[in-house]
Structure 1
Amino acid sequence: MKPDHKRKSRIERMTLKNRILLLFVASTLIPFICTCYLSYKTINSILNTKLQSGIQGNLKQVTLSLENSLNNLNHVSQQLAFEGNIGQQLEQFMMADQPYERSYLTDQIKYQLNLVTFTNPNIGLTMYYFHNDRSFLFETTGVKESFNIDRLPVIASYYGITYYGPHLSNDQFNNQYVLSALRKVELPEREDAYVYIESGFKLTQSILDLDGVSKNANHLILDNNGRISYSELKDVFPENTMFPGLTSPSLGSGETSEYYWYRQISNQGWSVVSLISKADYNREKNRWIVQMLALFLLFTLVSLVFGWLLWKMVYRPLARFNKEMKRMANSNFDAVTMQSRIPEFEMLLTQFQHMKSQIAQLYLEVQTKEKRRADLEIEKLLYQINPHFLMNTLDTAHWLAVMNGQEEIDRLVTSLNKLLYYNLRKGNQVATIREEIDSLKHYLTLQQIRYNFQFDVRIRVDDELLDVSIPRFILQPLVENALYHGLDDEGRIEVEVSKNERLEIAIQDNGAGISEETISALLEQEQVERQRAGMGIGLNYVKRMLESYYDGNASLTVSSEMGKGTRIVIRLPIHREGE
């Protein structure tokens, strides 16, 4: 088959519902997709300009903040390093021999240092540092034991002063990032004297988090040679290494495999680099794409809703009509009222309901005829047995036995006559427990005369239960089961009728017991029971009788242990005579 023919065949097989939904979705989404494509081109250009201008503006503010902090360090270090009041007092302290004089000069120098730091709130740890023996004097706060000037990251170094990039403060009471400076002090006695000053880094950090652009950015600070002095991405761009993206000293932007970067160079030669991952850089575009996808889903949902409304008006009545046809195929003729609110479907459903009613009536007539036929067959069988003829014949045998003094035969015939009258009685199939017990006693009399072994039967019934109604002819098959399955001399059968929320009838024997396979056969296979029981009626009959009368509300359980006996228990709802 050619491809065009296949495609045409596939379209022809498409259901009405799918065709409606496809048309609605196509008519809604095609214009929307064209609009999205044009708007993407426009927003892409706008977003690129917005992101780049925001990043560059933020970098300028960061650079200006760092320059101001470094200029402040330069200004304070000049006051402490060059000749002046503090410089003269430091020189006198270094040359003083008397303890009193050194103590006085110490107080004066500390006073001057505190005055300088007080007038500069951003200044933190301040001290004089002697590089040769790595000692320090006149520190304004405690100094950490790990202090090592050679490990600090250098930002820039010129004109006798060295600036160190953001690092953890050497103040033992401060764990914040700071900027620091080291300026040489000219002392006649010491060539290794320096003044060390730290300044806070909080202002610059707050600028780094100034706007929405920088929140997605990380920053580097490079020294004059392009070496990384400070890094917020130490795993990717470790400190004290060369920045890999810098191929020219004056380069202002570029990219690596995972990041876009922008650089702002300060007047002092060092620079600040802003790093934005390519994923974050495209976040605005991705957000727009998500919004477009949300609108796409909304438009799709709207088109599907409209398609569903049309399907509800046209396709749903057809589906209900199909369901009714399946119900009728399963012999369910109950009338179901359906309103489609479409005149054409209403007329079709009315005609279908009329047809279904006619079929149901015909089905009921056939069912009634079959039931009458089955009843006639049963009645025919009962009349073939002709119980009146049997009763009259047995009465004659009874009087002959009495006239000839045959008491055993008389007892046998009398019991058989009463038992047959009870079992073959026509009409009502319900009896009382009293009647069932009397019939059972006659049956046991016949069996004791018939068999050549003795067995004991004990019957216990609560007096208040004698008038409870039960199906006729259910006790005799259960006792017969006990006689046919292993009962011998000194055998015992116990029949107990009690009330325990429900009516409970228990038949217990001490015979040889029954295997699980035999129990299953007796309950399920009617033919097996007929072969083993003389009257052809057994456990299977009782089980079916209970199911028929009580519709699943009665139970029959059989438990047996080989060599110890069998117990049969029937549990029934309690109904009084006449109910």
Structure 2
Amino acid sequence: MNRIFTKLSLKKRLLIIILTSSLLPLGLIGTLSYYKMYSMLNNKIESSVQNNLQQVELSLSNTLSNLNHVTQQLAFNGSIGRDLKQYLDSTNVYEKSRLEKELVNELNIINFANPTIGLTFYYFQNDHRFLFENFPIKKDFDLDKLPILQQYDSITYYGPHKASNRFDDSSVISVFRQANIPDRDDVYVYVETGFNFAEKILQSNPKGMHVDHLIVNDKGIVSYSENSDAFPIGAAYPADTEPGKLVKHNGYYLFQNVSNQGWSVVSVIAKSEYNKEITEWIMQFAGFSLLTIAVSLLLGWLLWRMMYVPLTKFNNEIMQLANKNFHSEIKMMQIPEFDHLLHQFWHMRRQIWDLLAEVEQKEKRKADLEVEKLMYQINPHFLYNTLDTVCWLARLNGQDEIDRLVTSLNKLLHYNLDKQGQDTTIKQEIGALKEYLNLQQIRYDFRFGVKIEADETAENLSIPRFILQPLVENALYHGLGDDGVIEVHVSMEDSSHVIVSVSDNGIGLSEEAIQKLLHNERGEHKKMGFGIGINYVKRILSSRYGPGAELQIKSSEGQGTTVLLRLPLKKEGK
């Protein structure tokens, strides 16, 4: 995963990071909110539906209780039932007429005392005759077509249905009860009552949802349905539902509230309707999420632009540097951090330019030095063989001084020409210096003394070749006369530097002469013997040690000259 991520561009990385930082919180918040909202809505809807059904159940129970009370008055045990028995048993026309009027008055009183009571009559089952009806009865009246809500031995409650009153088309609940007239088991009482209050409760939509209702009788048969397509009247109510709980069945949510008598009221809510509020919330959250993602993408693009443009400028500056364009103008980007980096880059470019110029100058000096060295190189073997021949001739002729001169010259040439460019030790350099001094003492027509001292700890230290000989040659060249003395001292200054001192008691040098010796880059002074001059020493030190080595000349006219070398024990860069 890490390997794949490292191959992605900056733009893709920013896009992934910003989308992750926005989508992850959105996902977590959305998931938590969804389950919390769903739980709250479930509880809220369930509570609302339950309260609604309890009101309907209470209203229907009161209505049935009232119907039961009214029919008891109309039955034989009631006040009117006994008068009905006398009316049925009477054979006297006048008595029968009087009793009929009294029954009508009593029925009117009951209807007046119970304003919710609608159609009322006695029904004689054997001859299908209606008696004492207070309203005209519809011609298609049929008890068998009415939906049974609850049924006992002598009484039957019918669920909501259209009124049997010819002038009324509202929904009613009715009861059909045996009057229990002695010797007459075919006499029944039928009473209807309004269903308006319960119907209003059923039609109220909890939480703004469209809710259908069912009334299921004690046998589990639907006796009233507001959704006849899915739950027709007379159909069996699903047995897999659990009363008192909201359950899902065939795309509907059902909530059943069972009464004490066994019948129940059921709320039927379509799944789409039930989830409407949570769906609306999901749509709103989705819109908010899309807006958040769009803003995140915009911010990511802006961040990418803020980084891409400076990086492009940095790339252009690097390309300018690669093309050796050190003087192009740098334009600031008005972003403090990047402007600071550009300023640092500009400073680094200037330093690179200065370093390149310095390296170019050093290379030029090095080339000049190499050419100068080549001017003094001759074939070593030719010289060795020639000098050996001279040495043998001198010995054969008894010329001891010439023999000594040639022997010293041969050793000096062997040292100087055998390993050009390689380092040597202080001990070897001093040995070569002594041979050189032997030659010079034979060459000059004056005598001079030489004193050489070196710390034993410093003798094996590595130094460049030819740095002592030019210094001694300089002492011989600048006014050393009779009784002159040259002193060479090598000592350790500390654990990291060695001090080399070459002093003479000659006529000394003026300040102008010292400056010419130190700063004459092309070595225009006259060369002597094998010497290459102070300028050579200075350039060798600069090449090998850089600024770590020091060369000083201390002199005054008539007071002699001292040349000091302070050399580090390690070369530059090592």
TM-score normalised by L of structure 2: 0.48
TM-score normalised by L of structure 1: 0.47
| Structure number with bigger Rg | 2
